Amino acid sequence: MIRDIVIKNRSYRGFDGSTKIPHRTLVSFVDTARLVASGANVQPLKYQIADSQEQVGKLNALTKWAKMLKGVELPHKGMEPTSYIVIYVDSNINPNADAAKTDVGIAAQTILLSAVEEGFGGCMLGNFNKADVTSAMGADESLVPALVIALGKPAETVKLVDVGADGKTAYYRDENDVHFVPKRQLDDILLS
Whether 157 shows a pLDDT value over 90: the answer reads yes
Confidence (pLDDT) at 185: 96
Confidence (pLDDT) at 71: 87
State which residues form the domain around 186.
Answer: 157-192
Confidence (pLDDT) at 192: 84
Asked whether residue 99 falls in the same domain as residue 184, the answer is no
Q: Round to whole Å and give the CA distance between 156 and 15.
A: 7
Confidence (pLDDT) at 98: 87
SS3 186: helix
Name the β-bridge partners of 77: none
Asked whether residue 112 falls in the same domain as residue 182, the answer is no
Asked whether residue 29 falls in the same domain as residue 122, the answer is yes
Asked whether residue 91 falls in the same domain as residue 103, the answer is yes
Q: Is the CB of residue 169 less than 8 Å from the CB of residue 191?
A: no
Q: Round to whole Å and give the CA distance between 26 and 35.
A: 15
State pLDDT tens for residues 50-84.
999 999 999 999 999 998 898 889 999 999 999 99
Asked whether residue 30 falls in the same domain as residue 121, the answer is yes
Asked whether residue 112 falls in the same domain as residue 165, the answer is no
pTM: 0.96
Confidence (pLDDT) at 78: 96
Mean pLDDT (the chain) is 97
Asked whether residue 167 falls in the same domain as residue 79, the answer is no
Q: Count structural domains, the chain.
A: 2
Confidence (pLDDT) at 131: 97
State pLDDT tens for residues 176-189.
999 999 999 999 99
Asked whether residue 163 falls in the same domain as residue 135, the answer is no
State pLDDT tens for residues 70-123.
888 999 999 999 999 999 999 999 998 888 999 999 999 999 999 999 999 999
Q: Round to whole Å and give the CA distance between 60 and 133.
A: 11
CATH number of the domain encompassing residue 150: 3.40.109.10
Asked whether residue 99 falls in the same domain as residue 173, the answer is no
Whether 169 shows a pLDDT value over 90: the answer reads yes
Q: Round to whole Å and give the CA distance between 45 and 93.
A: 9
Whether 14 shows a pLDDT value over 90: the answer reads yes
